[in-house]
Amino acid sequence: MAPTLDKRAGVEPLPQPLTLGPSGFSGGNLPSWGQYAVVAGALAFSAAFLAALGSFSIGLMLALTVLVSCVGVYAWSRAVEGPRRAVDRAVTLSIAAAFGLAMIPLISLLFEVTKRGIPGLSAEFFTGDARGVIGGGGAQHAIVGTLVITGVAVVISVPIGIMAAIYLVEYGRGKLGRALTFFVDVMTGIPSIVAGLFAYALFELFFGPGIRLGVMGSVALSVLMIPIVIRSAEEVLKIVPNHLREASYALGTPKWKTIVKIVLPTAFAGLVTGVMLATARVIGETAPLLVTTGVIDSLNTDPFEGRMQNLAVFAYSEYRSPGVNKQEAYDLAWAAALTLIAIVMVLSIVARLVYRRYKTEIR
Amino acid sequence: MEQFDTTTNAGQILAAASGGRRRAGDRIFSNLATVSAVTILLLLAGVAAFLFAEGLPAITAGADELPGGQSFVDYVAPLAFGTVLAAALASILAVPLAVAVALFITHIAPPKVALTLGYLVDLLAAVPSIVYGLWGIFVLGPAAVPVMQWLEENLGFIPFFEGPASATGRTMFVVGLVLAVMILPIVSAIAREAFSQTPRKLQEGAQALGATRWEMIRITVLPFGRSSIISGAMLGLGRALGETMAVTIILSVSGIVTFNLIGQSNPSTIAANIALDFPESSGLAINLLIATGLVLFAITLATNFLARWVISRQMTE
């Protein structure tokens, strides 16, 4: 019986009848520390080998370690456990190594941004602007600009996004609902620079060419933010159980009041989390703001009047036109990058904590 | 008994009970929701319409009127080539890695830490693109120089690695690497979703027949997730096509068309070209850039349409 099933599954016949338990289907078994020993041995071998060649580098050593340990584990396991488990072990090891490879950029990025960003952080960074300063200066105008532009974007996106999600979950079952679902998905793929160009084209029609306003940036960010808000809001509204709605209707409550008093409060923590994650996604956008809010050296808090600086564009322009004192400008660019990353990380971590702490337990 | 849609049904019964007409509050609220829904569709249509309206003057203008003295098609073609080349390179690098990452999180890592690992991968998506740009030019670029030199020396016969290798790291190769890191979380999130939904009975059945974990993954999880991997790859491709700042900062561009990935002069991309030129442009040059933006919008829209279509077709199966 076993061989026929094996043929259907596309694997080789078992070398001998199945035995129960983790000790598998071949005589032997690697000791539980076997794989780790091979990896450690491979690491030592790679380090020694490269040092002997005189071309030592950490990247090369790790790559060689992965290669050697895959081969090593396969060879040992094949000898002891048979070819099928040998393949299994080698593949498992390579997949784990691939995950490690994917984590390297994240670790390197966080490390470098912290290391290079800290020298540029000073009291002046948070309190001064860059007006009339040659080299150095602060980024207060950029920080305030980021908060204002993103704040206005949130004010535009959240009501319209949540109402649209309510439409999808509570009302929309016809053509409009299906079209909305599909086009919201398509909208999440709009490139950010295209959103910026759209905002520019829209405002240019009314205010003439060359227009730059803080609120144009907010409109561009809203185009990017609305689909994310709808998706997450739809997700949490859907899991509000129907029996809550039915209980409310049974008491004679109108539908709109049921939504406002029952559905939204039940989903509240999820809605807040979704909005925070969407904010984190757009707060670091550069390209759409580059073409809509412009570059300016001094503080401007009025989104409806004049150009407005923000952290991402600030980092870009410090890098692009560093002026006389290059290092100082690069320090400022990295400090702005670090501030942005910190804001994004805090937003995403707090968002998840809010959800864990305040979510309504639904049975 | 028929399966009733309880929510709307209860509302209708209620409306009937209160004399057959809907209360004012209900009417206002449902209209508000409908208006929001329609607004969003209008917004998407507006994006296309405004880009078209502002781009049209450049599309219809003659070659001698446009800033570079080239016709619109001649202007946009090398940019479109660069855009597709960078995005394709990024997808080729990112997709296998993303599938491995998704498999690791869903099937190999201990379930207790899997959630945290997934969160770490998502963090990659949260990093702003300007930070990727700075990291690419200051950290990854210099680190990639010896790799590119090695590629030129040993694989120089392949047109992609023809060289001469750049000494600064401002190449298409580095852009592809950075874009790959940026799209990895999206591709892997979609693959993860599908892998974790593989029916348990299939997986357990395979293991009960004596399959090892890898054999189980190969015969149940991967076939089940195949169309998700395809659509995830296309969504990632769409993201890479439109990515702006990382390319703007890293790539050293000239208007040429070349497959050489490691040289000093590279084709620019549509998005990077807009970000570089827009702040200093005026008049018809602005219209020209907006018209290229329209082309980018069309390319990404087509990619996304296709990806979503693959997903929706697979959901109905």
Helix or strand run (H / E) with residue A92: helix A83-117
pLDDT digits (tens, 9 = 90+) for A299-334: 888 888 888 889 999 999 989 888 788 888 899 999
Tokens of B210: 């004596």
Would you list the domain boundaries of chain B? 1-60, 70-316
Q: Which residues of A149-159 are buried (b: 16+ CB within 10 A; e: fewer)?
A: bbebbbebbbe
Do residue A291 and residue B279 have CB atoms under 8 angstroms apart? Answer: yes
Q: Are residues A229 and A325 in the same domain?
A: yes
Euclidean distance between CA atoms B28 and B34, whole angstroms: 10
Output the pTM of the full model: 0.87
From the candidates B18, B29, B79, which should be mutated to test the interface with A, based on the most A CB atoms within 10 A? B29
Inter-residue contact A25 to A2 (CB < 8 Å): no
Q: Residue B222 — very low, low, confident or very high, per pLDDT cuts 50/70/90?
A: very high
Domain assignment present for residue A29? The answer is yes
| Residues B52, A24: Cα–Cα separation, whole Å | 65
Same domain, A113 and A204: no
Contact at CB, B211 and A9, closer than 8 angstroms: yes
C-alpha dist (Å) from residue A363 to A233, A236, A273: 20, 15, 21
| Burial track A111-132 (b if 16+ CB lie within 10 A, e otherwise) | ebbeebbeebbeeebeebbbee
> What's the confidence (pLDDT) of residue B2?
41
- Whether the CB-CB separation of B123 and A348 falls below 8 Å is answered with yes
- Which residue of chain B is at minimal alpha-carbon distance from A226? B40
- Who's near A27: CB < 8 A, 6+ residues apart? A16, A80
- pLDDT value at residue A8: 44
Are A347 and A279 spatial neighbours (Cβ–Cβ below 8 Å)?
yes
Q: Using the predicted structure, report yes or no on whether residue B243 has a pLDDT greater than 70.
A: yes
- ∠ Cα A11 A15 A20 (to 5°): 95
Instruction: Please classify residue A209 by burial: count the beta carbons closer than 10 Å to its beta carbon, then call 0-12 exposed, 13-18 middle and 19+ buried.
Output: exposed
In a domain, A222, yes or no: yes
What mean pLDDT is predicted for residues A129-155? 85
Chain A neighbors of B131, CB-CB under 8 A: 109, 113, 284, 315, 337, 340-341
CB < 8 Å to B121, chain A? 102
Whether B7 and chain A come into contact, CB under 8 Å, resolves to yes
CA-based nearest residue to B251, from B61, B66, B90, B49: B90
* Residues in chain B closer than 8 A to A256 (CB atoms): 23, 25-26, 28-30
Question: Average pLDDT, whole number, for chain A?
Answer: 85
Q: Does A95 touch chain B (CB under 8 A)?
A: yes
In this prediction, residue B255 has a pLDDT band, given cuts at 50, 70 and 90, of confident
Report CB contact under 8 Å: A316, B132. no
- List, in order, residues 6 or more apart from B118 with CB less than 8 Å away: B105, B192
Q: Model confidence over B123-161: pLDDT tens digits?
A: 888 899 999 999 999 999 998 888 888 888 888 888 888
Residue at which a domain ends, from A64, A91, A118 = A118
Indicate whether A131 and A109 sit together in one domain. no
Residues A191 and A58 in one domain: no
Least confident of A179-183, B60-64, B96-100, B179-183: B60-64
* CB-based contact, A280 to chain B, within 8 Å: yes
What CATH code is carried by the domain that includes residue A307? 1.10.3720.10
Are A137 and A95 in the same domain? Answer: no
Task: For chain A, say whether B163 makes contact (Cβ under 8 Å).
Answer: no
DSSP assignment of B233-287: HHHHHHHHHH--HHHHHH--B-S-----SSSS-B---HHHHHHHHGGG--THHHH
Q: Is the pLDDT of residue B299 over 80?
A: yes
Which of B215, B239, B315 best probes binding to A when mutated, by most A CB atoms within 10 angstroms?
Answer: B215
One domain for residues A273 and A352 = yes
| Nearest to B232, CA basis, from B181, B191, B179 | B191
pLDDT at B67: 77
Q: Is A260 left (phi over 0), alpha (psi -120 to 50) or beta?
A: alpha
When pLDDT is cut at 50, 70 and 90, the band that residue A6 belongs to is very low
Task: Provide mean pLDDT across the span A153-176.
Answer: 92
Residue in chain B lying closest to A318 (CA): B134
**In contact, A259 and A253? CB cutoff 8 Å:** no
- Residue keyed to tokens 């490691």: B262
Q: What is the ipTM of this complex?
A: 0.87
Q: For residue B263, what are the CA distances in angstroms to A46, A181, B86, B157, B257?
A: 31, 44, 14, 14, 12
Q: pLDDT, tens digit, for every residue of B37-46?
A: 999 999 999 9
d(CA B149, CA A1): 57
CB A335 within 8 A of CB A125: yes
Mean pLDDT check: name the lowest of A150-154, A240-244, B18-22, B257-261. Answer: B18-22
Same structural domain, A238 and A150: yes
**Tally of domains in chain A:** 2
> Which of B25, B131, B289 faces A256 most closely, judged by CB atoms?
B25
Q: How confident is the model at residue A28 (pLDDT cuts 50, 70, 90)?
A: confident
| Chain B environment of A286 (Cβ under 8 Å) | 128-130, 244-245, 275
> How many CB atoms within 10 Å of residue B190?
24
Is the distance from CB of B180 to CB of A56 less than 8 angstroms?
no
Which residues neighbour B177 within 8 Å (Cβ) at sequence distance 6 or greater? Answer: B90, B93, B136, B140, B144
**Cβ–Cβ pairs < 8 A, chains A and B:** 310
Q: Are residues A99 and A204 in the same domain?
A: no
- Is the residue at A363 inside a domain? no
Q: Give me the mean pLDDT over the A137-144 stretch.
A: 88
Instruction: Say what the pLDDT of residue B307 is.
Output: 83
Collapse the DSSP code of B19 into the 3-class scheme (helix H, G, I; strand E, B; otherwise coil) and give the result.
Answer: coil
- CB-CB neighbors (< 8 A) of A94 in chain B: 100
pLDDT at A200 over 90: yes
> Around A200, how many Cα atoms within 13 Å sit in the side-chain half-sphere?
32
Q: Is the pLDDT of residue A1 over 50?
A: no
Q: What percent of chain B has pLDDT over 70?
A: 92
| Domain that residue A96 falls in | 2-118
Domain closes at, from A76, A95, A118:
A118
Neighbours of B35 (CB within 10 A): 15
Residues A92 and A50 in one domain: yes
Q: What is the mean pLDDT of residues A135-154?
A: 89
CA distance linking residue A178 with residue B238, whole number of Å: 22
Task: Please report whether residue A287 resides in a domain.
Answer: yes
**pLDDT of the residue at B13:** 57
Residues in chain A: 363
Q: Does B133 touch chain A (CB under 8 A)?
A: yes
Mean pLDDT of chain B: 86
In a domain, A245, yes or no: yes
CB A223 to CB B47 under 8 A? yes
CATH of domain B70-316: 1.10.3720.10
In this structure, are A61 and A204 located in the same domain? no
Among A62, A83, A118, the domain boundary falls at A118
**A230 and A281 both lie in a single domain:** yes
Q: Chain A residue with minimal CA distance to B294? A: A194
How many angstroms away from the CA of B170 is the closest CA of chain A? Answer: 14
Residue A42 has pLDDT above 90, yes or no: no
Q: A24-28, A81-85, B90-94, B272-276: which has the minimum mean pLDDT?
A: A24-28
pLDDT tens readout for residues A224-243: 999 999 999 999 999 899 99
The mean pLDDT of A159-181, rounded to a whole number, is: 90
DSSP character for A213? -
